[in-house]
Homo-oligomer: A and B are copies of this chain.
């Protein structure tokens, strides 16, 4: 085999999985993921291996550093069995959550235990080269602080604020950062972190995944995670799996029509949910109320801010009992609830989790959303429906990003796309 071919093969493998396994080994890992710890006898039951072969294969898996022995299990009458678990010190994972104006990241062991955190302001209007170079530097800083070498990083999960072609790991027509379209995020990171498998997904999808793995979504089969901030988007879990849709843009509910006669949205249509109910619409209406005199408090705030208002000002005014601010927040909640009502009929989730900057708006918003959903959804679909703010805050994104990287850590060698 020529040198060039060889390195290409190597690269393709590195691209597909940091750790390739035989099918039976994969069964052991799968069981460990589910159960945490298992005994040699359980390994033998799962794989169908003889006692001798089980001992030999486990020795090999421990030798490679994939598994470790941990204490002893309860005796079944004979010798107390030594238990096995995945070796969390096998390497490191990174979870990276990119927002329009911020980066949140964590470094974890392969068990997903957080070792180091990093948050920074950022601007996605930068070129992708500049932006991701900075991300790489920040990852290296986190790694250095833990004494982790760059090639010990085995997986990087990345959430980006735009539609993602999940199979290729690239952004498709991202409205916030058109320059990033088709930028090879995977290849970029693998240049610096050659041992890492890089998985890229939409930011709300990773929040949904985070909620499912470590939040109130644990064990929930069907839910919608909705993020409300500058824009409005959602992540969908169906039958326990993230539903990304045929080209990865599922969940893009910000441009569902609320009012055909509404204002023109940046997408070109009229009356989109995002244009009428998200952060900018709220501040825009608040500015009107400040200017037309219907809210003296908002006028005062606007003057103090040099002619501007932020969503948190509207929230503060509402808390002070300002009627105009309250009405603005209620109207947003109602429009969001009207759209969710249709989606509840269609999708029949048991839970809706609400995250993003607007969650600080508290009960007035939540009550308006709930009321609109209850009024317009079928009773059957809402009897057991819970609508709540996510309690994870910014943890949802990074947790989901790490979970994504972890999913692809072990891959069956002759089936590169089957996750263990």
A350 within 8 A of partner (CB): yes
Per-residue 0/1 for A238-267: is the Cβ within 8 Å of any B Cβ (1 yes, 0 no)? 110101111111111101110000000001
Per-residue 0/1 for A372-385: is the Cβ within 8 Å of any B Cβ (1 yes, 0 no)? 00011011110111
CA distance A24 to B342 in the complex (A): 44
A102 within 8 A of partner (CB): no
CA distance A242 to B243 in the complex (A): 12
Judged by DSSP, the binding face of A is loop
Most buried by B among A243, A248, A345, A383: A345
The complex is assembled from copies of this chain, and their number is: 2
For A24, what are the chain B residues with a Cβ–Cβ distance below 8 Å? 48
A246 and B339: CB pair below 8 A?
A: no
Closest B residue to A348 by beta carbon equals B245
For A315, what are the chain B residues with a Cβ–Cβ distance below 8 Å? none
Per-residue 0/1 for A161-202: is the Cβ within 8 Å of any B Cβ (1 yes, 0 no)? 001000000001100000000000000000000000000000
Within residues 354 to 377 of chain A, which ones have a CB less than 8 A from any CB in chain B? Answer: 375-376
For A380, what are the chain B residues with a Cβ–Cβ distance below 8 Å? 163, 172-173, 247, 249, 252
A399 within 8 A of partner (CB): no
A345 and B381: CB pair below 8 A?
A: no
**Min C-beta distance of A275 to chain B, whole Å:** 13
Q: A222-B245, A239-B243 are in contact. Are A346 and B250 (CB under 8 A)?
A: yes
**Min C-beta distance of A243 to chain B, whole Å:** 5
Within residues 8 to 38 of chain A, which ones have a CB less than 8 A from any CB in chain B? Answer: 24
Q: A238-B238, A239-B238, A239-B239 are in contact. Are A383 and B247 (CB under 8 A)?
A: yes
A140 within 8 A of partner (CB): no
A113 within 8 A of partner (CB): no
For A247, what are the chain B residues with a Cβ–Cβ distance below 8 Å? 348, 350, 380-381, 383-384
A343 within 8 A of partner (CB): yes
A341 within 8 A of partner (CB): yes
A246 and B222: CB pair below 8 A?
A: yes
A252 and B345: CB pair below 8 A?
A: yes
A349 within 8 A of partner (CB): yes
A348 and B172: CB pair below 8 A?
A: no
CA distance A349 to B244 in the complex (A): 9
B222 and A243: CB pair below 8 A?
A: yes
Most buried by B among A236, A251, A349, A376: A376
A269 and B376: CB pair below 8 A?
A: yes
Given contacts A252-B381, A343-B346, 10 further A-B contacts (CB under 8 A): A48-B49, A173-B379, A173-B380, A238-B239, A238-B243, A239-B239, A250-B347, A256-B341, A256-B345, A269-B375
